Amino acid sequence: MEPGFLINVLAFIVASTFRSATPLIFASLGGVFSERSGVVNIGLEGIMLFGAFFGMLGSYLTRDPWFGVFLGMLVGALIALLHAFLAVDLRANQVVSGVAINLLATSGTAFLLQKLFHTAGQSETVPKIRDWQIPFLKDIPFLGEAVGKLNPLVYLAVVLVFLSGYFLFKTTYGLRIRAVGENPEAAETVGISVRKVRYFSVVLSGILGGLAGVYLSLGQMDMFKENMSAGKGFIALAAVIAGKWKPKGAFLACILFGFAEAMEGQFQLMGMDIPKHFLHMLPYAVTLVLILGLVGRSVAPEASGIPYEGRK
Amino acid sequence: MSNNPEKNLLEEYSQKLTFPLIALFIALFAGGLLIAWLGENPFNAFLHLFKGAFGKLSNFGETLVYVSPLILTGLSVALSFRCGLFNIGAEGQYIMGMMGAAWVGSIFTGLPAWIHIPLTMGAGVLAGFVWAAIPGFFKARYGAHEVISTIMMNYIALHFTGYLVNYVLMAPGGYLPATRVISSSAKLTRLIPPSRANTGIFFALASLILVYIFLWKTKWGFEIRAVGLNSEAARYAGINVTKNIILAMALSGSLAGLAGALQVQGIQYRFNDLFGFTGYGFDGIAVALLGNNHPAGILLSAFLFGSLNCGALQMQSVAGVPKDLIGIMQSVIVFFISADYLLRKKLERPFSIDMEEDSPGKEVQSNGTGLSH
């Protein structure tokens, strides 16, 4: 093979790795915030699906995909608010409430699709978010080809990883989130409102989950398809665990999953005779192995998943 | 609980039924509002829902077709709950059960039915058993949380069986990816033609009784429930927690696997390529929760969800209401039950779920905070 061709292929793989990782990155950042505050959000999968639907709807109604971004995030926040209400105020079983969100998302979006578009399966096409070309980056050899022209949400995802890391570990509010997730009683003793911090974190996770979904319908595609989240919310949660509840760690895990997905496309392009089923299986199998290898060394926030009963 | 003799039985049951009934009525109300929003008449739609499920004897037969797998996946999820585990993997175990049964059902020919039927069922049960024992082992041995690992196993099952049916076991000469049709010696008898109702329902009903006996009348079941109530105390009392976690998961998977086998032996007669999840495993979660993780409750809630799912088809075709409405109503019910947790915790101290890696120790903590309230 010529070196030039090889570099092209490599650049293509890097680009598609980032493209595939982006929805996972948004959702896993959401998972980090929620779990750091002590609330398990297994409903991220469903929140993503809602985000994808309402992103499409926003773009359909205004012909402006950025309104879709806004609407998708807003609906993600509202669903998360419901989860926060159940988990924090009603001390609901967080896994069960997450299952309910996922159920609601699957049938709810299918129902809305029929009501609003009178079709099943997929919506009509809507204006999508166009790729951005980054001025200086695009002229650098290899890098320009790989990451010089991508969807703006891809760049946003990478920026958010660093912002989230900073927020969580360098700011007072970040410290509060971590304190509430580790030891809510102690946090309350020093005057932190466990309730407020958990509400904030869960809603933030919903906004990020909604954004992840918007990327699916308006970044990767230009329409909504039934069940298009296809387990990505769950993979994002696994990335949270594999990344030890840290934004950068989760980011790396997402990149790994994105790479697996990119290779899947690559194998198909090169016409290699690997059954696609094995490639589809790969991210889930990798996740399983990662979880096994990391438990023991990877420690969850102490109070994660436990409803806080208040100081007595 | 039935092991609380000083309590008035009637009072106890009415207390248990109140919350699910409230949840059900609110779900029906929400469903009615959505139908009205569509511009249809809710009463007319619900009438067709009811007719679709019970209008004729054959409709009732079709309802049973939906009820049998839900009984078994509901039991599956409930059995894991009773051990303090959340088996979200019933879906994958069900799929593996279908595949196991389709394989064993089709490779043997000329066997007498009294051998071939149980053999095929056994293959489904075994496939589910193994598929659930793996995450059970991961949980017990490495502390990997079963919620995440069973979700992963679901997707692996979906794609693995997709591979098998497209490459290894595809029926020769067929256009669509599907296995061979199973031998007639492995097929279950149809009861109410033209409906597809079959003797599978009896196996589902028998499982209800067997699970009840197992959990409440045997030492094994007692140990599983003890681990579910408080694994630390169970360990202290000399119960092997590791063994019970794996056993509970594996048995839970067996029930889902049996559901898959009955689906192949009684309904489909082969494994067709799945283009997505069947939903029976996930619905089992709702069935178990609404049924209070008790066989009697599961019978009622499986019947409810089964008739809703069956009736929804007629509601969709005649009254023009999308059948997805049923899923929305189910989610409303599950939302309510999730909030019921606190109440139920006080009533009977059930399982506790957390996302911790070393769950057993943490369980005490979470139970502790729960009860100090």
pLDDT in 10s for each residue of chain B, 373 residues = 445 555 566 676 776 777 788 888 999 999 999 999 999 999 999 999 999 999 999 999 999 999 999 999 999 999 999 999 999 999 999 999 999 999 999 999 989 999 999 999 999 999 999 999 999 999 998 888 888 899 899 999 999 999 999 988 888 877 788 999 999 999 999 999 899 999 999 999 999 999 999 999 999 999 999 999 998 999 999 999 999 999 999 999 999 999 999 999 999 999 999 988 998 998 999 899 889 899 999 999 999 999 999 999 999 999 889 989 999 999 999 898 888 755 555 444 444 444 333 333 333 333 222 222 2
Q: How far apart are CA A129 and CA B329, in angstroms?
A: 34
Q: How far apart are CA B183 and CA B201, in angstroms?
A: 20
Residues of A in contact with B328 (CB under 8 A): 104, 107-108, 111
Residues 292-331 of chain B whose Cβ lies under 8 A from any Cβ of chain A: 322, 324-328, 330-331
Residues of A in contact with B274 (CB under 8 A): none
Residues 350-369 of chain B whose Cβ lies under 8 A from any Cβ of chain A: 353-357, 362, 365-366, 369
Note whether residue B17 is domain-resident. Answer: no
What pLDDT, in 10s, does the model give residues A156-200?
999 999 999 999 999 999 999 999 999 999 999 999 999 999 999
Q: Return the DSSP state at A215.
A: I
Note whether residue B317 is domain-resident. Answer: no
Distance of CA A170 to the CA centre of its chain: 23
Note whether residue B15 is domain-resident. Answer: no
Kindly list the distances between the CA atom of residue A251 and the CA atoms of A28, A80, A207, in Å, as whole numbers in the listed order.
8, 22, 17
Residues of B in contact with A241 (CB under 8 A): 145, 148
From the list B4, B214, B250, the residue with the least C-alpha distance to B223 is B214
A182 CA: distance to closest CA in chain B (Å): 12
Number of domains in chain B: 1
B159 touches A at CB < 8 Å: yes
How crowded is residue B371: how many other Cβ atoms within 10 Å of its Cβ? Answer: 11
Note whether residue B155 is domain-resident. Answer: yes
Q: How far apart are CA B118 and CA B99, in angstroms?
A: 15
Classify the C-alpha dihedral B28-B33-B34-B35 as positive or negative.
positive
**Tokens 């049938």 found at:** A107
Q: How far apart are CA A184 and CA B178, in angstroms?
A: 53
**Tokens 């000083």 found at:** B6
Note whether residue B147 is domain-resident. Answer: yes
Note whether residue B38 is domain-resident. Answer: no
Note whether residue B58 is domain-resident. Answer: no
What SS3 state is found at B6? coil
CB contact under 8 A, A291 and B149: yes
The answer to whether B350 touches B302, Cβ cutoff 8 Å, is no
Kindly list the distances between the CA atom of residue B189 and the CA atoms of A52, B99, B104, B316, in Å, as whole numbers in the listed order.
45, 20, 18, 29
Q: How far apart are CA B49 and CA B55, in angstroms?
A: 9
| Ranges of residues in chain A whose predicted pLDDT is under 70 | 1-2, 294-299, 311-312
B341 touches A at CB < 8 Å: yes
A8 CA: distance to closest CA in chain B (Å): 31
A141 φ, ψ (degrees, to nearest 5): -60, 150
The chain B residue lying nearest A288, using CA atoms, is: B149
The answer to whether A111 touches B34, Cβ cutoff 8 Å, is yes
- Look up the CATH number of the domain holding residue B127: 1.10.3470
Nearest to A291 among B144, B339, B370 (CB): B144
B262 CA: distance to closest CA in chain A (Å): 25
What SS3 state is found at A284? helix
Residues of B in contact with A292 (CB under 8 A): 138, 142, 144
Cβ-Cβ pairs closer than 8 A, A with B, add up to 175
**Which pLDDT belongs to residue B344?**
55
CB contact under 8 A, A292 and B138: yes
B162 CA: distance to closest CA in chain A (Å): 6
**For the whole model, what pTM was predicted?**
0.87
Count CA atoms within 13 Å of residue B267 on its CB side: 22
Structural domain harbouring B155: 63-305
B2 φ, ψ (degrees, to nearest 5): -70, -15
Cβ-count burial B273-311 (b if 16+ within 10 Å, e if not): ebeebbbbbbbbbbbbbbbbbbbebbbbbbbbbbbbbbb
Note whether residue B361 is domain-resident. Answer: no
Name A27's Cβ contacts closer than 8 Å, sequence gap at least 6. Answer: A44, A48, A208, A209, A212, A232, A233, A236, A237
CB contact under 8 A, B152 and A106: no
Q: Widest CA span of chain A, in angstroms? A: 72
The residues with which B170 forms a beta bridge, in sequence order, are B179
The answer to whether A40 touches A95, Cβ cutoff 8 Å, is yes
The chain B residue lying nearest A45, using CA atoms, is: B151
**Tokens 């590791």 found at:** B242
**Which pLDDT belongs to residue A5?**
80
The chain A residue lying nearest B37, using CA atoms, is: A115
**Which pLDDT belongs to residue A120?**
85
Q: Alpha helix (H) ranges present in B38-110?
A: 42-54, 57-82, 90-107
Q: How far apart are CA A61 and CA A82, in angstroms?
A: 26
ipTM of the complex: 0.88
